[in-house]
Amino acid sequence: MKVAAITKIGSLKDPDPSKRGRVELIDYPEQEVGPEDVKIRVAYCSICGSDPHVAEGIFGTDVPIGLGHEVSGVVEALGEKATKKGLKVGDRVAANFLRFCGTCYYCQNGQQQFCEHTDEYHRPGMAEYVVWHESQVYKLPDNVSLKEGCLLEPTAIAVRAMDKMGHKVGSRVAICGGGPIGQLALQMVKMYGATYLTMIEPVAERREIALSFGAEYVIDPATQDVVEEAMRITGGLGFDVVLDASGAPAAVGNLPRITAKGGTLLYGAMYPGDFTMPLNLFKYCYFNELTISGFYVAPYAFPRALQLLPRLNLKPFTAKVVPLERVAEAYDVHMSSKYLKVLVQCNEGLE
């Protein structure tokens, strides 16, 4: 079967074509359906902001590296013991690309995200088919389309951000970065009763989307002084909760300065592996008592993400669809940042 893969390590935006990373379709063996497994005929797999980092070799440089972890599709086959969720052949589903074993120290200590046995089911989802463990698969509500359904995984990431932000109703909230995670998180904090809700984002179209989702203020870091604007908006207090969803080294250094005394600052993105940031511990940790944290995957978040899907505005996320055969073009479109999300259609005729 056909799978999208990185076949050459390198930046996908390297101006020198001989150094640029490459994404293309490869032939890949179909996985066997084990007794507790679900075989999914993939409908859509959306491109993740982390995929270009994979192309740069952040998780290893042995190519080919199969791509795709934001998947929706239809159940094609079930193992004889895959009966715990009542799934049936033909059901419309979405999935978590990680299988948590449930048995290791971390799984049993309420920290699935550190599970030491996720490798067995590490399989690329930007493919005609993918076989995952039943525990990874979720039946979509009838009023969620397969195009929207592939957003379950990024939605779960935004739910995880909510869990770690731990804010109260009425908290002043700022989000840095209007990509998919930032925009999903913005919709969620709005539900949560955020006030002075502010999106910090250099791309005008993305600021407009944030305003349409309920942001009260937007800051353009390319033309405005972020700290000055943040203090003007919050009457000098700063934001109780600041989420970075940009992953941009140039954007994150200022965020302790716009976080209120006693506030929470969450670095919720994938950063370049060699990036370090100076932090004045006296000012921000001792004197201002900031809680600074981060996260990388979404344990215990998928059931709630599934319930949120039909309650979110996902229209701007599903505007661009490219067929699997033209996957290289899909990544070019993704790199242009013209669309909030690019969906790769892996099989035709599934809605």
CA distances to 160, 209, 285, 330 from 314, in Å: 18, 11, 37, 19
* Closer to Zn ion by Cβ: residue 122 or 232: 122
Q: Which stretch binds Zn ion (CB under 5 A): 107-115, 138-146, 269-277, 279-287?
A: 107-115
Please report how close the Cβ of residue 328 comes to Zn ion at its closest, in angstroms.
19
Q: Indicate the residue type of 63.
A: V
Nearer to Zn ion, 242 or 245 (CB): 245
Q: Which amino acid does the sequence have at 195?
A: T
Tell me the β-bridge partners of 129: 41
Minimum distance between the CB of residue 306 and Zn ion, rounded to whole angstroms? 16
In whole angstroms, the minimum distance from the beta carbon of 98 to Zn ion comes to 10
CB of 87 to Zn ion, least distance (A): 22
- Give the contact letters, 199-238, x = binds to Zn ion (CB under 5 A), - = no: ----------------------------------------
Regarding 152 and contact with Zn ion (CB under 5 A), the answer is: no
Residue 107 as a binder of Zn ion (CB under 5 A): the answer is yes
d(CA 201, CA 209): 11
Of 38-46, 98-106, 171-179, 333-341, the segment contacting Zn ion by CB under 5 A is 98-106
Give the footprint of Zn ion on residues 23-52 (CB under 5 A): 48
Least separation in angstroms between CB 135 and Zn ion:
11
What is each CA distance from 50 to 27, 56, 68, 269, 347, in whole angstroms?
A: 23, 10, 10, 9, 23
Q: How far is the CB of 238 from Zn ion (least distance, A)?
A: 30
Whether a cis peptide bond, with omega within 30° of 0, leads into 64 is yes
φ and ψ at 214, to 5 degrees? 110, 5
Torsion of CA 302, 214, 247, 289, to 10 degrees: -90
Contact 190, 272 (CB under 8 A): no
Cα angle 56, 57, 59 (rounded to 5 degrees) comes to: 135
Among the candidate windows 111-119, 210-218, 286-294, 329-337, which touches Zn ion by CB under 5 A?
A: 111-119
The answer to whether 126 contacts Zn ion (rule: CB under 5 A) is no
Residue closer to Zn ion by CB (options 194, 298) is 298
Q: Which two structure tokens, joined as six digits, stand for 278?
A: 């100076």
* Strand, helix or coil for residue 226: helix
Among 1, 104, 203, 211, binds Zn ion (CB under 5 A): 104
Is 101 a residue that touches Zn ion (CB under 5 A)?
A: yes
For binding to Zn ion (CB under 5 A), which residues are involved?
A: 48, 101, 104, 107, 115, 117
